Chains A and B, each alone.
Chain A
Amino acid sequence: MSNVANPNLDNSTEESAVNNNSSNSEIKNDLMDHDLSNLDLSKVDWSKLPDENGHFGIYGGRFASETLIEAIQELDDAYKTLQSDPTFQEAIDNDLRHYVGRPSPLYHAERWSKELGGAQIYLKREDLNHTGAHKINNTIGQALLAKHMGKPRIIAETGAGQHGVASATIAARLGLECVVYMGEKDVERQKQNVYRMKLLGAEVRPVSSGSKTLKDALNEAMRDWVTNVDNTFYCIGTVAGPHPYPMMVRNFQAIIGREAKQQCLEQTGRLPDALVACVGGGSNAIGLFHEFLPDLDVKIYSVEPGGMGIETGEHAATLCTAKPGVLHGNRMYLMADDNGQVIEPYSISAGLDYPGVGPEHCLLIDMKRAKAVSVTDKESLQGFHDLCRIEGIIPALESAHALAYVKKLAPTMSKDQTIIVNLSGRGDKDLNTVAALEGISI
């Protein structure tokens, strides 16, 4: 039977592998031929990434069960329509301005810059957003989309609880039912955020399957979605998942970079020399990076959680260490063992504790547009304390990873150069963790 289908399948293999994006023809979706290390970046059409099927080269795509395909397609269609609808954009802009408090400031950390003795450091203050992190930029967009699609119920997965809180917040604001899936271990670790979600009217469902953390919460949310597709919108918190999620979430987060670019030009008269952001799934990072991708003189650093140290195996530095794999609806760098079973990663920061990473980040690393680096728990804690004491800002442990890398990078640059670092969230949620390390219980 199989030979009947052969000729057609063979043809389509070649066509789609070689020709699925004529303007970026060298960025192939071909597992046998995807080396991009010698790609001429000046020829890349950044506006055409991903291609129309959601591929960033071999990454991204729509690796979903048939039971979900129509729901994903429905979302794709709705997003395409609303993307070019000025009323929808206006509604988002309005909420971002008056509800979230955008634009968030670009703050020149003069004292810290001076102390490090190198480049001028500017913090993009996403920590000042309503709910205390960048996550709400995305949930506002997706929740408005859910409302437009007539879905009265939104579901979300959460690790540290920031995306769960951001989802619960906007659900309350729009009068939507909200169910948040959270690994049992994380429910225990992040009691305060669990209570915040409950206050906001959301139902938090602890997930006891698998490793009982973020990836399992995502699995469980997908199971809910497939069972309740008729009335439910799945609000994914990061730039991963089946297409269009990685593109859509990026577009909702890209306001970070658009604002930062304008603010940087206003304050310094030129583009920054480097961008630094922490990468777990990668939504805050791509939010900052995206606007600057064509500006090839702007260096991009993706800072991953090195945990106890890469050599110990106890980390979540996916871009730095992993190979391409498929999970949660897309191909991406994935921490898995030789048998393809997903490895449970480790990081001090629950928000970076994810075994995969958004597909666009994978492509940026392969094509050498961005550089993947890692810092350890210890280094990130030092970054945390430095910002507290030198600038009077308590950063999230996630963002502290980016700060820790800035601490290494800034001294290697000259004083007239500029770094923008994404301060993606505030550290209130991490006080228990940090205090516990010092033997203090609060």
Chain B
Amino acid sequence: MSNRLKDCFAQLEKDGKKALIPFVTAGDSNKSITVPLMHRMVESGADIIELGIPFSDPMADGPTIQLACERALVHHTSVSDVIEMVKEFRQSNDETPIVLMGYLNPVEAFGYENFAKSAAEVGIDGLLTVDLPPEESDQMAGILAKYDIDPIFLLSPTTTPERIQRIVNAGSGYLYYVSLKGVTGSSILNVEEVSEKVAAIKTYTTLPVGVGFGIKDAESATAISAVSDGVIVGSAIVKIIENNVDDADTILEQIGALLKSMRIAMDA
């Protein structure tokens, strides 16, 4: 079984550090940039990578991620491409946990069993399906469990105590707390509110809680990591790709620099 996520958080705790979790849409802005970018992220201080499965209709995401999906889909980046990318990444990195994140339909079209089996074979550690809440996930959960892939679930500011209980029971690996009401790429972030909510979630579970939505620089990363177990950075990274679509060197350089600045600030 894959213990990468468990080991990763255990090590972070031992070192007194918080997880830095960058997100990138696989195949954005082309298929060949994704694996080098993943390696650069790790070199720049990433602890876990969330790799987005592109979808034509990313309803819970803002315009930045939607455009990333569109760029990736121009090249028809598919679930099997994403699995291939992780396979290639694993040839020189067997430690960094990889979580796939996306919407249910591409995974359902691939087939739950087929997906879980292939994902486990290449060393994928978790799956976050945005539009699959625990109430609908029984069949998926059974299959992911069979292949030791952690189902990662979202929690939001509006999640009731009753559902927090349900979600922490269903999830494993870590929990993803959505810091604000809105879509990805939104800007208003209230650290105090996040702090209270994360503390509340932690009374239900020993699972690590990562926080995403609205984290875009070293300052916000530091503030949020102080009150949680890790920060998830998505739109800020994707925006760099959007601004430098045809320039792989600049993309790698700028994303590397952003993550480094976050790492240094978070560890200080």
Contact = CB atoms under 8 A, between A and B. Distances in A.
A227 B172 contact: no
B105 A65 contact: no
A69 B78 CA distance: 28
Contacts of B59: 65, 219, 222-223, 328
Interface stretch (A103-111, A291-299, A331-339): A331-339
Interface residues of B, number: 63
B66 A210 contact: yes
Contact of B159 (A69, A215, A228): A69
A66 B153 contact: yes
Given A63-B131, A210-B70, A227 B142 contact: no
Given A339-B106, A340-B110, A1 B5 contact: yes
Given A70-B160, A209-B66, A227-B181, A2 B144 contact: yes
Given A2-B173, A67-B154, A210-B66, A326 B108 contact: yes
A208 to B, nearest CB: 9
A8 B169 contact: yes
A69 B153 CA distance: 13
A227 B61 CA distance: 11
Contacts of A84: none
Nearest to A340: B109
Contact of B139 (A5, A30, A219, A338): A30
Given A210-B70, A329-B131, A342-B105, A71 B158 contact: yes
A9 B158 contact: no
A61 interface: yes
A64 B109 contact: no
Contacts, number: 164
A5 B172 contact: yes
B234 to A, nearest CB: 14
A3 interface: yes
A215 B59 CA distance: 10
A36 interface: no
A329 B142 CA distance: 21
A16 interface: yes
Contacts of A227: 181-183, 186
Contacts of A325: 105, 108-109
Contact of B138 (A9, A62, A226): A9
A387 interface: no
Contacts of A8: 169
B135 interface: yes
A329 B130 CA distance: 11
Interface in B58-94: 58-60, 62-63, 66, 70, 73, 76, 78-79
B110 A65 contact: no
A324 B111 CA distance: 12
B170 interface: yes
B105 A334 contact: yes
A109 B63 CA distance: 50
B92 to A, nearest CB: 25
A12 B178 CA distance: 26
A13 B106 contact: no
Contacts of A339: 76, 78-79, 106, 109-110
23 contacts: A2-B173, A5-B169, A9-B145, A31-B139, A53-B135, A63-B136, A66-B133, A66-B178, A67-B156, A71-B158, A210-B57, A223-B59, A223-B183, A226-B60, A226-B181, A229-B158, A229-B181, A327-B105, A328-B59, A336-B109, A339-B76, A339-B106, A340-B79
Interface of A: 1-6, 8-10, 12-13, 16-17, 30-32, 53, 61-71, 209-210, 215-216, 219, 222-223, 226-230, 324-329, 334, 336, 338-342
